[in-house]
Amino acid sequence: MSNRMWGGRFAEGPDAIMEEINASIDYDRKLYRQDIEGSKAHVRMLAAREIVAVEDAEKIAHGLDTIRSEIEAGEFTFSRALEDIHMNVESRLAELIGPAAGRLHTARSRNDQVATDFRIWVRDTLDTLDAQFADLIGALAERAEQHAGDVMPGFTHLQSAQPVTFGHHLMAYVEMFARDRSRMRDARKRMNECPLGSAALAGTSFPIDREMTAAALGFDRPTANSLDAVSDRDFIIEALGAASIASMHLSRMAEEIVIWCSAQFGFVTLSDKFSTGSSIMPQKKNPDAAELVRAKTGRIYGSLTALLVMMKGLPLAYSKDMQEDKEQAFDGLPSLSLALAAMTGMVRDLTPNTKAMKAAAGSGYSTATDLADWLVRVLGMPFREAHHVTGRAVAVAVERGVVLHKLPLAELQAIEPRITQDIYTVLSVDKSVRSRTSYGGTSPVNVRKQARRWLKALEREAARD
Please give the pLDDT value at position 2.
38
**Beta pairing, strands 193-194 & 221-222:** parallel
Give mean pLDDT, residues 297-305: 97
Side chain identity at 67, as an amino acid letter? I
pTM of the model: 0.90
In DSSP terms, 193 is beta-bridged to 221
In DSSP terms, 160 is beta-bridged to 155
Which tens digit of pLDDT belongs to each residue from 70-82? 999 999 999 988 8
Most confident of 223-237, 264-278, 282-296, 370-384: 223-237
CA-angle at 220, arms to 219 and 222, nearest 5°: 75
Distances (CA, A) of 274 to 255, 266, 267: 15, 16, 16
pLDDT-above-90 percentage for the chain: 75
CA distance 178 to 190: 19
336 burial type by CB count under 10 A (0-12 exposed, 13-18 middle, 19+ buried) = buried
Lowest mean pLDDT among 49-58, 132-141, 316-325: 316-325
Please give the pLDDT value at position 256.
97
CA-angle at 354, arms to 277 and 255, nearest 5°: 50
Instruction: Please list, residue by residue across 261-283, b when 16 or more beta carbons sit within 10 angstroms of its beta carbon and e when fewer do.
Output: beeebebbebeeebbeeeeeeee
* Helix ranges (DSSP H) in 147-205: 166-191
3-state secondary structure of 22: helix
pLDDT-above-70 percentage for the chain: 94
Annotated catalytic sites, by residue? 157, 278
* pLDDT of 12 higher than 70: no
Side chain identity at 100, as an amino acid letter? A
Give mean pLDDT, residues 233-248: 97
DSSP 155: E
**370 CB-near residues (< 8 Å, 6+ apart):** 162, 426, 427, 431, 432, 435
138: confidence class by pLDDT, cuts 50, 70, 90: very high
